Amino acid sequence: MQFLDQENPSLTFLPAPLSALRHTARRFATASATLALGALMLLQPARAAAPTSPDPAGNASISHASHPGATRYELHLHHLHTGETLDVVYRIGDEYIPEAMDKLNHFLRDHRTQDTADYDPKEFDLLHNLLGRLHKPNGEIDIVCGYRTPESNSFLRTLGGKASPAQTGVAEHSQHMLSKAIDIRIPGVRTRALRDAALSLHAGGVGYYPVSQFVHVDVGPVRQWSFR
């Protein structure tokens, strides 16, 4: 019996003896088993070395996987003086994330002196809840002023001796110096509407600055005021 090569019919092949075919089959089976075992051994270390998925917020200490079903608290901030932006998950469930808090403290530093301070975490909850009240859960917040050193607060209070406190509206014992206050704007939201939403939270102090077009929000005593 002869076999034709389907690619080239001019070539023919004679069948090999049966014993040779059996020997070849045994060698093929042995080689296949060896290759399969080798492939399995190669796959195992590769699988063990595969990196875990990074936390979306870049926070190594607390992962969402360890808190299934827990609420993620996010903030999207833009600083009007430094030009910096920050997108951060600062809290998962009831736990504040240390790395995120460090990022926020640096972001809200006194931009005049570069000094930082540890913010009251409730201030960030206030911002988060304020966005929810405005139906902008993923909205960006413009930061007008964050932390102030006593020196910066004193300067702003009189503009370096060129104005009176009555003209500047800066409090002598400002909550900014205690890392409990932030002056903000929210793009697309009128200043008055932002003020009203902040007041509805009853979370602390609310200052309305219509001329400068920002709202002061803090987690100090509940109170309100308006300055020109």
Strand ranges in 64-213 using DSSP code E only, listed in sequence order: 72-79, 85-92, 95-96, 140-145, 181-185, 205-209
pTM greater than 0.85 (yes/no): no
Kindly tell me the burial class for residue 45, based on how many C-beta atoms sit within 10 Å of its own C-beta (0-12, 13-18, 19 or more): exposed
User: Tell me, what's the pLDDT at 15?
Assistant: 40
The pLDDT tens digits along the chain (228 residues) read 433 333 333 333 334 444 444 444 444 444 444 444 444 444 444 333 333 333 444 454 455 556 778 899 999 999 999 999 999 999 999 999 999 999 999 999 999 999 999 999 999 999 999 999 999 999 999 999 999 999 999 999 999 889 998 899 999 999 999 999 999 999 999 999 999 999 999 999 999 999 999 999 999 999 999 998
3-state secondary structure of 150: helix
70-226 is a CATH 3.30.1380 domain: yes
Tell me what pLDDT residue 94 has. 96
Contact 59, 99 (CB under 8 A): yes
For position 69, what pLDDT does the model report? 85
Report the C-alpha gap between 198 and 214 in whole angstroms: 12
For position 68, what pLDDT does the model report? Answer: 72
The DSSP call for residue 8 is: -
